Every structure is written in structure tokens, then in C-alpha cells.
Structure 1
Amino acid sequence: MKQIWWKEAVAYQIYPRSFFDYNNDGIGNLKGITSKLDYLKDLGIDVIWICPMYKSPNDDNGYDISDYKDIM
């Protein structure tokens, strides 16, 4: 029987604003996530789920998107 990869995968959810701040402006960012991919792989993480990181007034922790084309 064919094994379905996601049934055995280890997933890790990332909230970008607090994960890793690559440029030291106080807010985590995409570069911070990509700079830690090797670390996540070493932990045995197979899948990452990235929370929204669109431009936002942050009234709802980033889920209140103000521009769907701009990311933080």
C-alpha cells in the first residue's frame, strides 16, 4: 500500500512576527524563517505552516490584511 507522506510527517507552525527577527527591527520576517530552515530540518521538521505575514494594521494579529500583495 502506498504510504501517504503527511500521515507520518512532523509539522511545525511558524508565527513570523515572533519567530526570528533577521534584521533586528523587532519584528520577525521571511528572511528570519529562511535563515532557520537548516535548524528546523535538524529538529526533524518535515512541514512548516507559516501564519499570515501580509501588510496589516495588526488589530487581529496579522489576520486583518490591508494589502494582499505586500508582505512584511
Structure 2
Amino acid sequence: MHLYDGHFGGMHLIWWIIWIILLAWIFFIPTDIPYQKTKKEDPLDILKKRFAEGFITKEEYEESKKILKSDN
């Protein structure tokens, strides 16, 4: 008794290809898709954003910037 007997053997191969493509698409999806993955912001970038939005003064910005640069 043959397992496939020559019938629908190609269909089995097609399903494997479909599964491989599906898994590759899931795991290698681009990271720049909005709302998919969040990019980790650098503390200096956050500080610049807060200063640009007016949440902190120039003096606070300069002081915080010195502190952040001295930690590196």
C-alpha cells in the first residue's frame, strides 16, 4: 500500500509552501508598521520633545541635558 499513491502529492507540497510563507511573513514583518511595534526612545530625544512642546524651560532643558550626557 502506498501512502500517497501519486494522487494529490503536489497539493501536500503546496500546503507546506503556504505555511512557510505565512510563518515568514509573521516573523519577518517590517518594524515600521504603525501601531505594530513601538520604537524605544532615547532619553535625550524625550527631553528634546518635552522642550519643543513647552513643558520645560530652556534652563531645565540645558541642566537635564548636561546630566544625561554626563551619565554616558
TM norm structure 2:
0.27
Higher relative contact order (CA 8 A, sep 6+): 1
TM norm structure 1:
0.27
